[in-house]
Amino acid sequence: MEKNFSIEEMFSFLDKGLSAYHAAAAAAELLEKAGYRRCPECAAWELAPGGKYYTTRNGSAVMAWRMPKGPLTGWHATASHSDSPTWKIKVLDMEDGFYAKAETEGYGGMIMPSWMDRPLSVAGRLVVRTAEGLETRLVAPDRALCCIPHLCIHFDREANSGKSYNPQVDLQPIFGAAGGSLRELLAKEAGVQPEDIVGHDLMLCVRQKAERVGLAGEFFMSGRIDDLECAYTTLWGFLQGRGEEEGRGDIWCMFDNEEVGSSSRQGAQGTLMADVLARIEEAMGISREQSIRARANSLLLSADNGQARHPNHPEKSDPQNPVRMGGGILLKTNARQTYTTSGYTGAAFETICKAAGVPVQYFANRADVPGGSTLGNLLGHQIAMPMVDIGLGQLAMHSAVETASCADAEMMAKACAFYYNTPIFQLEDGVWKIQL
C-alpha cells in the first residue's frame, strides 16, 4: 500500500489504460502487488475471513473485495468504469489503391474532430488460435500507427462555420501506404502468425502521455480521464482500507461499457457484483435475510466525472452550482434520478468528506439542459444498496484528450481512503450512524 498519494502514479495508470482491457490489467497489477489473490469466475473459490481477493470479467471489468471478519453487517463499496469514447476497429485490413486502411465505428459519444490530425495507435486484445484452443492476448504497439486526416480547407470552405461529421465518411483512419497490413503488425506484436488471429477487440487510442499543464502545473491533460481518474483514485483509497471494522466488507469495482449504456455482461447492468456478492455470502453461510439487511446497511459511491465551468462558455453551467477545477469532489444530483444521490445519501458522504478535510462541490445541470447519466442508477437495478454519485470536475469531457485538476485527484483519493476506514451504519431507514 502507498501511504502518500502520487499524481505521477495516477499518470502511469492513465498511460497504461489504453483500452478497457489494459485498464483492467493495470488495476489487477496494483491489486496483486497489494496482496490480493485472483479468483477466476470459472473456478471454485476458497474465501477466508479477512482475506483479500479480486476477479475479472471479460478481461475489462474488475471487482476486488476484502472479506468481513465476523458476521456480515454491511459493505463499503465504490464503482467506476474502465471504458472511454473511442473508435472500435471492425475490419483490420482494407485498401483503396492509395492507402492501407481499417474500418472503424464510433464507441460512445465522443467529440469527433478531437481525434483528427493527431498520431494514433491501436490497443485492445486479439483472440488467437493455440495448440490448446483459443486465448486472448493484449496488444498495444508503442508507436504511432495511424491518423484520421481532415479534409483541407480548400475542399471544405465551410469547415470553420460549423460542420456535421459523418463517421463512415469523414473519420476513417489511414495506416500508411497501400500494401501495408495491420493484421501482420499485430500478429508480430502478439508473437503469432497472422492466420492465427481469429478475433479481436481493438480500439484506436491517443499517444499523448498524461502531463501537468498550467503556470503552476495545477492541471493535467490526458486521454481517458473520464473515467480512469475516478477508477484510480477510488482504487487507491480502497487499498488504504485497513479492514479493521468487524463484520464490514469492502468492495472496489470497475465496470466496462458505461459509455454505451452499461447493458453488457461486464457492465453495471450485468450481474458481476451480484454474482460475486452471492458467492461471498454463500461461503459465509449468509441467509437471504442477512444478505438484504447487510446491503441495506451499506453505502456505495458511484464515481464518474462531471463538467467543470468552461472558461469560454460559463453560461452552460448551472449558475448556482458552477464547478471549479481544484475546488473538491463533486456531489452529483439530478431530479430525474439519473444520479443516485439523495439528500440522505449525499449528507452521509459529505459528512465523511468534511471529517477528512476534503471540500465538496454540488454538481447539477441547468434546468433547461438534459443531464447525462452514469453507472450508479443502472447498478441499482441489480444491487439494492444506498448510493451516492460523486466525481471530479474536468474540461473537454469525451474529447480524445481531456483536462482536469491535480488537486482534485488527490482529494478524491484522500476522501475514499477515509471512507473505507469510517464505520457507517443505517440503523433504520433514514438514520445514519457514522463513527468519525
Distance (Å, rounded) from C-alpha 402 to C-alpha 230? 14
pLDDT at 186: 97
Q: Does residue 363 contact residue 321 with C-beta atoms inside 8 Å?
A: yes
pLDDT of residue 142: 95
Average pLDDT, the chain: 94
244-297 tens-digit pLDDT: 888 899 999 999 999 999 989 999 999 999 999 999 999 999 999 999 999 999
CA dist., res. 160 & res. 157, Å (int):
7
User: Do 280 and 311 sit in the same domain of this protein?
Assistant: yes
What percentage of the chain exceeds 70 in pLDDT? 100
What does the alpha-carbon distance between residue 214 and residue 19 come to, in Å, rounded to a whole number? Answer: 27
Could you tell me if 112 and 197 lie in one domain?
yes
Q: How far is CA 158 from CA 114, 123, 419, in A?
A: 18, 34, 52
- pLDDT at residue 245, as a whole number: 84
Residue 177: which residues within 8 A CB-CB, separation 6 or more? Answer: 98, 99, 100
Domain region containing 326: 7-84+223-434
Decide if pLDDT at 371 tops 80. no
Give me the pLDDT at residue 1, please. Answer: 47
180: in domain: yes
pLDDT at 52 over 90: yes
| Number of domains the chain contains | 2
Identify whether 304 is preceded by a cis peptide bond (ω within 30 of 0). Answer: no
Q: Are residues 80 and 90 in the same domain?
A: no
> What's the Cα-to-Cα distance from 39 to each of 1, 26, 181, 337, rounded to whole Å?
21, 17, 38, 34
Look at residue 275 and give its three-state secondary structure.
helix
**Is residue 129's pLDDT more than 80?**
yes
Alpha carbons 239 and 233: distance in angstroms, whole number: 10
Tell whether 326 is covered by a domain. Answer: yes
Q: Are residues 261 and 364 in the same domain?
A: yes
Which parts of 140-218 are beta strand (E)? 174-177, 197-206, 211-213
- Does residue 253 share a domain with residue 138? no
Q: Is the pLDDT of residue 369 over 90?
A: no
pLDDT for 128 equals: 96
| pLDDT tier for residue 2 given thresholds of 50, 70 and 90 | low
- 208-252 pLDDT tens trace: 999 999 999 999 999 999 999 999 999 999 999 988 888 899 999
* pLDDT attached to residue 335: 87
Is a pLDDT exceeding 70 seen at residue 116?
A: yes
Same-domain status, 232 and 196 = no
